[in-house]
Amino acid sequence: MHLILYRNDIEKSTFMKRLVFRLLAITTIIIAPLTLNAQDPSTSSTALQLTLDQALEIALSENNTIKIADMTVEKTGYARKGSYAALYPNISANGSYQRTLKKQVMVMDMGGQPMEIKVGRDNNITTSASASMPIVNAQLWESLKLSGLDVELAVEQARSSKIAMVKQVKQAFYAVLLTEKSLDVVTNVYDNAQKNYEKTLQRFNVGKASEVERLRAQVTMMNAEPNVSSAENAVLLATWQLKAVMGIDLNTEVEVVGNLDDYTSQLLSPYISEEDLSKNSSLLQLGIQGRMLESTIRMQKKQYIPTLAANINYNYNAMGDDELRWFPSSTAAVSLSIPIFDGLQKHYNIKQSKINKNMLDLQREDTERNLRVAIRNYNDQMALCIKNYQAANATVGIAQKSYDISEKMYEVGKATMVELNDAQVSLMQAQLTQAQAVYNFMVAKASLDELIGKEE
């Protein structure tokens, strides 16, 4: 009989261990990918106190993804300014010097006698300046509008990067809070197990507890200790992930301020489903790309319009052997180019662009449909988290009361260690379920905020 009870106790302890490890494993899977190559941070006497707002502020200024997005916007802005150069006169100057080593000889018939005449001068200098600019070029003007849309697209892509970064930082921050909460729970379990073992040992020493009860209490305490180490490691991994997302050195000591309980007010407040996609970055980018294709079609159509350009040249030449003689010359011209036939190339290019525009419209329609499905999914997840939290919240109170009663009954010998362990497992499971519900709600909310285009 004692062996059966002892075996049952081991099974209960093993179940508790598996439960904690399962939660820690899930947390590790979430945070592990970016921390596999991380190095152990060096210890520091002071740690950076980090709130969620501060983490977001640092990430938006230090993360390389955000820096690259800002540089892309800046680069596209320069490209747009460079495209306006085509509207201004293009002025250039040239100069050359030529030294005649051996002059060309011409033979002429003079009175029936051949006469050789050397042609040219020893020194030849040529200088010129020219200026040209378009007067009428509809295709060029439309291309300038297209470059403006390039800048608008780059700005929206940068905004998308910032929104995605906000979501990643929030989720990494919540992961730290979840692992810290898990650490608190398993630490409390270990402390209770240690306290119960000490009480059982005292009772055993005075003959009020059996050897099986002492062993059972010892096994429970020993099984709880590795869970604390695993929880501490999960906190460390989650903190590394947060620092990696923020773009700061992994050796920087940080201390996250707050806990999951700070966000229960958002979970319990009246929730209004958000389905507005007017600020969704993916749809906005597709809209800009559609306008760019429309501008491309207009630009291709304007290739049929004649172009008019002006050109001015001024030349100053000098020739001579010992003394140079200078001869200026200048021209001004207006050139008209009329497209007549190009083998229908422009026609087929327009056809291709129209098909690309139709394909983009279909892609945007599918994207919007999928986004609305995702919004409903996140709303359903959040509603489920609210229900899970409310159920777990009620369970935590009952489980805590059950454990307190079991502990008192065990102290006076009216309850067994198995019953006490059962109460402890129930309490731990309820606390972890409660924390997981808050975490899942905030993670889903962060994903929903990204979907609808919230920047904070």
Rounded CA separation 360/290 (Å): 7
| Average pLDDT for the chain | 84
Please check the confidence at residue 4 and state whether its pLDDT lies above 50: no
Residue 29 clears pLDDT 90, i.e. is over it: no
pLDDT range class, residue 419, cuts 50, 70, 90: confident
Q: Could you tell me the domains of the chain? A: 2-89+138-305+344-452 (1.20.1600.10)
Hey, what are 11's tokens? 């099974």
> Does 47 have pLDDT greater than 60?
yes
Distance in angstroms (rounded) separating the CA atoms of residues 82 and 98: 36
> pTM for the whole thing?
0.76
Q: Is the pLDDT of residue 31 over 60?
A: no
Q: Which pLDDT tens digit goes with each residue over 141-170?
A: 888 888 889 999 999 999 999 999 999 999
Average pLDDT (331-347) is: 90
Question: How confident is the model at residue 285, as a pLDDT?
Answer: 95
Query: Is residue 24 predicted with pLDDT exceeding 50?
Result: no
Higher-pLDDT residue of 22 and 409 is 409
User: From the CB of residue 385, how many other CB atoms can be counted at a distance below 10 Å?
Assistant: 21
Give the lowest-confidence range in 1-10, 41-50, 446-455.
1-10
Per-residue model confidence as pLDDT tens digits over 66-80: 888 889 888 888 888
Quick one: three-class SS letters along the chain? CHHHHHHHHHHHHHHHHHHHHHHHHHHHHHHCCCCCCCCCCCCCCCCEEECHHHHHHHHHHHCHHHHHHHHHHHHHHHHHHHHHHHHCCEEEEEEEEEECCCCEEEEEEECCEEEEEEECCCEEEEEEEEEEEEEECHHHHHHHHHHHHHHHHHHHHHHHHHHHHHHHHHHHHHHHHHHHHHHHHHHHHHHHHHHHHHHHHHHHHCCCCCHHHHHHHHHHHHHHHHHHHHHHHHHHHHHHHHHHHHCCCCCCCEEECCCHHHHHHHHHCCCCCCCCCCCCHHHHHHHHHHHHHHHHHHHHHHHHCCEEEEEEEEEEEEEECCCCEEEEEEEEEEEEECCCCCCCHHHHHHHHHHHHHHHHHHHHHHHHHHHHHHHHHHHHHHHHHHHHHHHHHHHHHHHHHHHHHHHHHHHCCCCCHHHHHHHHHHHHHHHHHHHHHHHHHHHHHHHHHHHHCCCC
Residue in 68, 76, 74, 66 with CA at minimum distance from that of residue 151: 76
Q: Label residue 87 by pLDDT band (50, 70, 90).
A: confident
Mean pLDDT, rounded, for 230-254: 91
- Predicted confidence at residue 320, as pLDDT, reads 82
Asked if residue 2 has pLDDT above 60, the reply is no
- Please state which of the ranges 16-30, 135-149, 335-349, 352-366 shows the lowest mean pLDDT: 16-30
**Residue 272: predicted pLDDT:** 66
Q: What is the pLDDT of residues 270-311, one digit of tens each?
A: 766 677 888 999 999 999 999 999 999 999 999 999 999 999
Q: How confident is the model at residue 131 (pLDDT cuts 50, 70, 90)?
A: very high
Residue 27: CB atoms within 10 Å = 22
- Whole-angstrom Cα distance, residue 322 to residue 330? 26
